[in-house]
């Protein structure tokens, strides 16, 4: 079953990372990595759909406080493995549009959590759903790194990142209407944020293989991660 946007009952931004042109003339596989906003109050039909898509595990990037406030539906779901991998930055406000790329750089440099995430994904036999709150910042950064690992070009990675605002825009606009004090950049996934993030990433690490080695993955683990993403 190869569908890009996955229509779950309580999410807006659940998407498969399959179907992107990748290394060696291949394309990323469907049903391997699904990115999402927080999956709460999922129905039995939602879980049936996810099983049909091959999902067997979920990784939650949110903080303890976020999970206490809004628990993940996967936390006690039978037949699914649930992993909590909170980034040190939590759900921090970048403070300005200019602050978004530096915030993303902090996510990338959170070595203990990134190592844990990549090892979980590489070790799972089935598909993995990754999520934070809106599925934009923490999930967007991890998704970009996974696509880089598969050899997906930067233009496709930027395009994938931008799609988030398309799906959450109505919720974002309603939030700004109810809370006009919120900054105008709130909820946006403008291309420039990820473009500057990736520019800094390449300046810092050179390439994604160097980065994966930097966070502690060995050559076998890196190969397993790529095999997870590619046919």
> Domains of the chain (ranges plus CATH)?
15-218+224-228 (3.90.190.10)
Give pLDDT tens digits for 181-205.
888 777 889 999 999 999 999 999 9
Q: Give me the pLDDT at residue 31, please.
A: 97
DSSP result, 63-128: -HHHHHHS--TTTT-TT-EEEE---TTTT---SSGGGHHHHHHHHHT-HHHHHHHHHHHHH-SSEE
Summarize pLDDT for 1-21 with one digit per residue, the tens.
688 999 999 999 999 999 999
> Is residue 64's pLDDT more than 80?
yes
pLDDT over 90 at 226, yes or no: yes
pLDDT of residue 223: 97
Average pLDDT across the chain, whole number: 95
pTM listed for this prediction: 0.95
pLDDT recorded at residue 205: 98
Q: Quick one: angle between helices 219-229 and 138-150, nearest 10? A: 100
Give residue-wise pLDDT tens across range 133-156: 999 999 999 999 999 999 999 999
């Amino acid at each position: 079953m190869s569908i890009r946007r996955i229509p779950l009952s309580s999410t807006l931004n659940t998407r498969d990372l399959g179907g992107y042109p990748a290394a060696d003339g291949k394309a990323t596989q469907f049903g391997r990595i699904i990115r999402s906003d927080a999956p709460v109050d999922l129905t039995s039909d939602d879980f049936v759909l996810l099983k049909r898509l091959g999902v067997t595990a979920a990784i939650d990037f949110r903080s303890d406080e976020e999970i206490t406030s809004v628990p993940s539906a996967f936390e006690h779901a039978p037949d699914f493995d649930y992993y909590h991998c909170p980034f040190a930055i939590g759900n921090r406000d970048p403070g300005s549009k200019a602050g978004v790329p530096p915030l993303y750089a902090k996510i990338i440099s959170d070595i203990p959590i990134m190592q844990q995430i990549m090892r979980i994904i590489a070790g799972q036999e089935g598909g993995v759903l990754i999520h934070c709150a809106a599925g934009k910042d923490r999930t967007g950064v991890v998704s970009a790194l996974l696509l880089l690992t598969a050899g997906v070009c930067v233009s496709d990675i930027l395009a994938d990142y931008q799609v988030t605002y398309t799906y959450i825009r109505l919720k974002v606009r309603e939030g700004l209407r109810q809370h006009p004090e919120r900054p105008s950049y709130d909820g946006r996934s403008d291309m420039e944020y990820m473009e500057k993030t990736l520019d800094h990433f390449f300046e810092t690490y050179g390439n994604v293989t160097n980065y994966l080695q930097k966070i502690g993955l060995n050559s076998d683990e890196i190969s397993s991660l790529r095999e997870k993403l590619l046919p």
